């Protein structure tokens, strides 16, 4: 079983990953919208 300290580090890593995916998705959507506007 993982120690409490290991679980805390894992939760922090997971929270960082989820935040990175969230902002990456938002920025990708913005870039895609800009490209579509430039092309049209």
pLDDT at 29 (0 to 100): 98
Nearest 5°: the CA angle 27, 32, 38 is 130
Residue 26, both tokens: 């938002």
Residue among 16, 12, 35 nearest 24 (CA): 16
pLDDT at 7 (0 to 100): 86
What pTM does this model have? 0.70
pLDDT at 6 (0 to 100): 86
2 Rama sector, left if φ>0, alpha if ψ -120 to 50, beta otherwise: beta
Tens digit of pLDDT at every position of the chain (40 positions): 567 778 889 899 999 999 999 999 999 999 999 999 999 9
């Amino acid at each position: 079983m993982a120690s409490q300290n290991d679980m805390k580090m894992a939760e922090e890593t997971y929270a960082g990953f989820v935040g990175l995916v969230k902002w990456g998705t938002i920025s990708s959507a913005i870039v895609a919208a800009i490209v579509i506007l430039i092309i049209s």
